[in-house]
């Protein structure tokens, strides 16, 4: 399905369904299609909202994890959201954690999947062969356990991003910001329920990252998905949605 992109003020977003808000934060190369199965499933029980993060539109100074967390804060304030179930994949999880640390009173739960914030093998850190389509294809395949998930459409999208000079600079800036902005000393401050859903075969934020998050987040529960890489909600949506549904049910108001 194609999602309607809504506009309110300076914000663009997708919104489907009614109920408690479930806000989804995409990653560095996250397209709306990454969340298709999740939206289709949860729009029946939740108000699912995906703000389009301005990965390439902020000034270079603001192009950072903190800058994007401030954008999310302005979006949530503009939409007058509260009792939010926040979910972030990859960089989106990192942004969600930074936001939650400052606005915990508005968040009912947070779900992290393949999140940065502790350690990651960043795809965007450097592109020595960014003009080489086969190189970008192979790098994109590494996101998944099953390389066939890296469709031509997805690879074309990543290729077009990294071969736009300004976008490539923003990607590198964000990747470096994510590496510098380690949250290890702050995570124990989060007291709301946390769900960690991790691919056992994630090579970008490997399983030891999930174990470390689980250790540092006192209210977290950790769920593994076998034969799955860095984007479980995209690669194994059925199993992902069952885990998330069970968690959200426990967190209902």
In angstroms, rounded to a whole number, what is the distance separating the alpha carbons of residues 233 and 244? Answer: 10
pTM above 0.75, yes or no: yes
In a domain, 205, yes or no: yes
In a domain, 28, yes or no: yes
Domain total in the chain: 1
In a domain, 206, yes or no: yes
CATH number reported for the structural domain that contains residue 91 in this entry = 3.40.50.1820
The pLDDT score that the predictor gives to residue 175 is 87
> Is residue 154 within a helix (H) or strand (E), and if so which, with residue range?
helix 152-162
The pLDDT score that the predictor gives to residue 128 is 46
> Is residue 86 within a helix (H) or strand (E), and if so which, with residue range?
strand 84-89
Assess contact for 149 and 234: CB atoms under 8 A.
yes
The pLDDT score that the predictor gives to residue 123 is 47
Three state DSSP letters for 104-144: HHHEEEEEEECCCCCCCCCCCCCCCCCCCHHHHHHHHHCCC
Q: Give the contacts of 187 (CB within 8 A, at least 6 positions apart).
A: 97, 213, 216, 217
Residues of the domain holding 97: 6-118+182-250
Kindly give the parts of the chain with pLDDT less than 70: 1, 121-131, 253
Tokens describing residue 33: 């299609």
Give tens-digit pLDDT for 52-64.
999 999 888 899 9
In a domain, 175, yes or no: no
């Amino acid at each position: 399905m194609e999602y309607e992109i809504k506009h309110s003020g300076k914000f663009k977003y997708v919104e489907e369904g009614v109920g408690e808000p479930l806000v989804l934060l995409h990653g560095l190369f996250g397209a709306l299609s990454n969340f298709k199965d999740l939206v289709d499933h949860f729009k029946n029980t939740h108000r699912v909202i995906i703000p389009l993060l301005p990965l390439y539109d902020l000034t270079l100074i603001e192009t950072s994890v903190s800058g994007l967390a401030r954008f999310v804060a302005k979006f949530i304030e503009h939409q007058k959201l509260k009792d939010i179930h926040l979910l972030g994949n990859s960089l989106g999880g990192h942004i969600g954690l930074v936001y939650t640390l400052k606005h915990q009173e508005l968040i009912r739960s947070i779900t992290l999947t393949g999140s940065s914030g502790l350690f990651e093998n960043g795809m965007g850190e450097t592109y020595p062969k960014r003009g080489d389509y086969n190189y970008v294809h192979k790098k994109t395949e590494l996101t998944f356990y099953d390389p066939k998930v890296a469709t031509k459409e997805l690879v074309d999208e990543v290729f077009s991003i990294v071969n736009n000079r300004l976008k490539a600079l923003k990607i590198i800036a964000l990747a470096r910001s994510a590496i510098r902005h380690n949250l290890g000393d702050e995570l124990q401050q989060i007291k709301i329920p946390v769900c960690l859903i991790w691919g056992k075969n994630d090579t970008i934020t490997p399983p030891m990252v999930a174990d470390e998050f689980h250790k540092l987040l006192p209210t977290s529960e950790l769920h593994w998905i076998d034969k799955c890489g860095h984007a479980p909600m995209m690669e194994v949506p059925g199993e992902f949605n069952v885990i998330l549904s069970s968690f959200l049910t426990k967190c209902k108001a």
